[in-house]
Structure 1
Amino acid sequence: MRKRSKTFLYFFVAALLLQLIAILKLVFLPETIDTSFDMNIYDTYYVIDEFTLIETVTGVYFLLGLGYWILYRLKRRPNITLSNIHALVTVGGLAFYLIASPVASFIEDDSYSSYYRNSDTLLILLIPLVAIAQVLYIINIFIGIQTPYHRHKRRKTEY
């Protein structure tokens, strides 16, 4: 008998943890409220408030988990391998960034700090990988809509 995937739990837990991080940051580090994430892509310079970015990612994770949860409640079966790859890349990529970013900023050379940041490089490398994982999510949702979950009952054989 095949196990039903509960991938939605990964995304709900990640969304709750991100929300908790945002609240704890507001309570215990109020001086970081005005921090922003800035990224230069070609001739465009993007500046995003860090709190807004965390709230947006929390909402996206909640919506991703909601898609898997709806399939679970409708007794539809997404591909478990695609679900695991999507969850690993999306949730694991965020966890990797949250752990590696402080380490990268700690070891970064001060001579390049105004021009080049290691944490930005990490994010630029993770964004395409996470974007590809979202394509897997869409494919997996379509697979899940078309594949019902059948629970096989064993037939009693009479002798």
Structure 2
Amino acid sequence: MNKLIEKPYLIFLLAIPVIMLIGILSGDAVLDINVHDTYYLIAWNQLTLMSSIIFGIIGIGYWIMQKGNRKLSKSLNWIHIGLTFGGILILLILNQLYRIEIMNLEYNINLTLIITLIVLLMIVGQIIFPINIIYGLIKKKNKTSG
């Protein structure tokens, strides 16, 4: 786990093939988002492609900071990784809890509220990434032995 915090780019870059595999296996599946009377449809393969690009940018950002011998905050790394991958895991679990029967409308509304709050928390977690990069650029360089 310590290697994960020292090299956070590994988890982001290794997640890209997994995300792309999910996109390929999803076929023609569509994510539909209902906002009042409007439905927004996003194809899963487009969503996974967009997620892979974002993970690639984040992974390359962490990698450049390490190669530039800049020290990032370990606590900000933990928060960013935890909110990103923990949020994804929680969303996948909560998505399976939706009920189809019309009698469970109140339950689904509450579940939708929880999912929305988790997505907002994940977005806040992504704001931590540039803050950590700026912190690493401002802080003095790592002292290397030799």
Question: Does 1:138 pair with 2:130?
Answer: yes
Q: CA RMSD in A?
A: 2.7
Q: Are the structure 2 counterparts of residues 16 and 122 from structure 1 closer, same or farther at C-alpha, using a change threshold of 3 Å? A: farther
Q: What secondary structure, in the 3-state scheme, does the structure 2 residue paired with 1:40 have?
A: strand
User: Cα deviations across residues 111-145 of structure 1 (Å, max 9, x unaligned)?
Assistant: 15789577744531222101111111111010111
Question: Scaled by the length of structure 2, what TM-score is found?
Answer: 0.80
Change beyond 3 A, Cα 1:53–1:8: same
Percent identity, please: 28
Look at both structures and tell me which one has the larger radius of gyration over its CA atoms.
1
Corresponding residue pairs, total:
141
Q: Which runs of 4+ in 1 moved over 6 A?
A: none
Residue 61 of structure 2 is matched in structure 1 by 67
Please list every run of 5 or more consecutive structure 1 residues that lacks an aligned counterpart in the other structure.
27-32, 154-159
The yes-or-no answer on 1:58 pairing with 2:52 is: yes
User: Per-residue deviation at 1:43?
Assistant: 6.0
The superposition leaves residues 87-125 of structure 1 with CA deviations (integer Å, 9 ceiling, x where unpaired) of 1101221122223322x13xx151157895777445312
- In 2, the alpha carbon distance for the partners of 1:59 and 1:118 equals 32
Q: 1:138 to 1:42 in 2, by over 3 A?
A: farther
* Structure 2: unaligned runs, 5 residues or longer: none
Please tell me whether residue 38 in structure 1 is matched to residue 32 in structure 2: yes
Once residues 120 and 130 of structure 1 are traced to their aligned partners in structure 2, the CA distance between those partners, rounded to angstroms, is: 15
**Contact 1:37–1:47 (CA<8 Å) still a contact in 2?**
yes
